[in-house]
Structure 1
Amino acid sequence: MVKLTAEEIDAQDAARLNELGYKQELKRELTSIGNMGMALSVVCISSGLTSLFAYGLNTGGPVVMVWGWVGVCFFTVPVALAMAEISSAYPTSGGLYYWAAQLSSRKYAPFASWMTGWYNLIGQFAVTAGIDFGIALMIGALINIGTDGAWAPTAGSTVGIHVAICFSHGITNSLGPRVMTTINTMSTVWQVVAPVVILITIACKAPTHQSASFVFGYYNNNTGWTMPGYVILTGLLQAQFTMTGYDASAHLSEETKRANIAAPVGMVMAVLVSAVMGWCFIIGFLFCIQDFEATLQTTTNFPVMQIIFDSVGRSGAIVLMVILILACWFCGFASVTANSRMIYAFSRDGAMPGSQHWHVIHQKTKTPLNAVWLSVLIASLLGLPSLGNSTAFSAITSVATIGLYISYGIPIVCKLLNQKQFTRGPLHLGVLSPVIGSIAVLWIIFITILFVLPPQSPVTPISMNYACLAIGLVTLGAGGRFAIDARVWFKGPITNLDAEFGQKKQVQESVDNHDDIHEKVALEP
Structure 2
Amino acid sequence: MSGTDNEKLPATDPSSSSTMDPDDALLLAAGYKRTMPRRFTPLTLMSLSFTLTGTWLGTATSLGIALTEASSAGVLYSLVLAGVFTAILSYGMAELASAYPIAGAQYYWAFMVSDPSWAPFASYMAGWVNVVGWWMGQAATGSLLSGMLLAIAAFNRPGYEIEPWHQYLVFVGVVWLNVAWNTLGARMIPVWNKVLMFLSLAVILASFVTLLVCSREHYPSAKWIFTDTTNSTGWPSTGFAFMLATMNGIFSYAGTDCGAHLAEEIPSPSKNVPKVIMWPILIGFVVAWPLAVAFMASIYDLEAVLNTPTGFPLVEVLYQGMGGSGAGATVLMALYAVALFGCCAANGTTNARILWAVSRDGAVPFSRVFARIHPVFKVPVNAILLSGTVVTLYGLIFLGSTTVFSSMISALIVFLQTSCAIPQAILLVRGRSQVLPPRYFRIPEPWGYLTNAVAVAWVVFTDGLACIPVSYPVTLENMNWISVVTVAVVGFILMLWVFDKRMTFRGPKVDFELMRIRREEALGLVDRRVGLEEGRFGGEKQS
Residue number among 51, 57, 63 corresponding to 1:47 in the alignment: 57
Task: Note the residue ranges of structure 2 that are not aligned, 5 or more in a row.
Answer: 1-17, 517-537
1:495-519 deviations in Å (ceiling 9; x for gaps): 6xxxxxxxxx999999x98996xx9
Q: CA separation in 2, counterparts of 1:297 and 1:515?
A: 56
1:494 corresponds to: 509
Aligned equivalent of 1:261, options 236, 254, 271: 271
Shift of the 424–197 alpha-carbon distance from structure 1 to 2, 3 Å rule, reads: farther
The answer to whether residue 442 in structure 2 is matched with residue 425 in structure 1 is: no
Cα distance in 2 between the residues matched to 1:99 and 1:271: 22
Q: Cα–Cα, structure 1 residues 111 and 262, in superposed 2: closer, same or farther, change >3 Å?
A: same
8 A Cα contact 1:87 1:264, kept in partner: yes
TM-aligned CA deviation for residue 9 of structure 1? 12
1:162: how far off? 1.2
Q: Which amino acid aligns with 2:43?
A: I
Give the TM-score taking structure 1 as reference length. 0.90
Structure 2 CA distance for aligned equivalents of residues 382 and 337 of structure 1? 18
| 1:292 partner amino acid | L
Q: Identify the range of structure 1 (340-349 vs 36-45) with the bigger mean alpha-carbon deviation.
A: 36-45
- Residue deviations 1:35-58, cap 9 Å, x none? 211111111024322222111111
Which deviations, in whole Å up to 9, do the C-alpha atoms of 1:314-353 show, x marking residues without a partner? 1111111111111111111101000000010011111112
**What is the CA–CA distance in structure 2 between the aligned matches of 1:280 and 1:194, rounded to whole Å?**
13
1:480 has 2:490 as partner: no
Deviation at residue 176 of structure 1 after TM alignment: 4.9
Aligned to 1:502: none
Asked if the contact 1:85–1:264 (Cα under 8 Å) also holds between the matched residues in 2, the reply is yes
The amino acid that maps onto 1:157 is H
Match of 2:245 in 1: 235
Partner residue in 2 for 1:398: 410
Q: In the aligned structure 1, how far is the partner of 2:279 from the partner of 2:346?
A: 16
Quick one: distance in 1 between partners of 2:391 and 2:200?
22
Number of matched residues? 499
Q: Give the percent of matched residue pairs that are identical in Structure 1 and Structure 2.
A: 27
Decide whether the 8 Å contact of 1:86 with 1:424 is kept in 2. no
Q: Which runs of 5+ in 1 are unaligned?
A: 1-7, 496-504, 520-525
Q: Distance in 1 between matches of 2:539 and 2:247?
A: 42
Give the SS at the match of 2:309: coil
RMSD, matched Cα: 2.3
Take 2:194 and 2:540, find their aligned partners in 1: how far apart are those partners?
A: 47
Report what 2:390 is aligned to. Answer: 378
1:193 CA drift (Å) = 2.2
| CA deviation after TM superposition for structure 1 residue 259, in Å | 1.0
* Larger mean Cα displacement after TM superposition, 297-306 or 477-486: 477-486
Aligned residue identity for 1:424: P
Identify the residue that residue 292 of structure 2 maps to in structure 1: 282
- Structure 1 residue aligned with 2:111, among 94, 98, 101? 101
CA contact (8 A) 2:408 2:485 kept: no
Contact 2:53 2:255 in 1 (8 A): yes
Once the two structures are TM-superposed, the CA of residue 10 in structure 1 deviates from its matched residue by 8.5
Cα deviation, residue 395, structure 1: 1.1
Q: Deviations over 1:28-85 (max 9, x none)?
A: 0111111211111111024322222111111111121211211111111111110000
Q: Is the 8 A contact 1:35 1:262 kept in 2?
A: no
The offset of 1:157, in angstroms, is 1.1
Change in 2 beyond 3 A, CA 1:61/1:392: farther
Mapping for residues 339-378 of structure 1, pairs under 5 Å: 339-378=351-390
Q: How does 1:427-466 map to 2 (within 5 A)?
A: 427-431=441-445, 432-466=447-481
Does residue 173 of structure 1 match 2:173?
no
Superposed, which structure 2 residues align to 1:196-207 within 5 Å? 196-206=205-215, 207=217
The answer as to 2:178 corresponding to 1:163 is: no
Q: Which residue of 1 aligns with 2:93?
A: 83
User: Match for 2:465: what amino acid?
Assistant: L
- The aligned counterpart of 1:468 is 483
TM superposition score normalised by structure 2: 0.88
Native 8 Å contact 2:436 2:541 kept in 1: no
Q: Which residue in the other structure is 2:77 paired with? A: 67
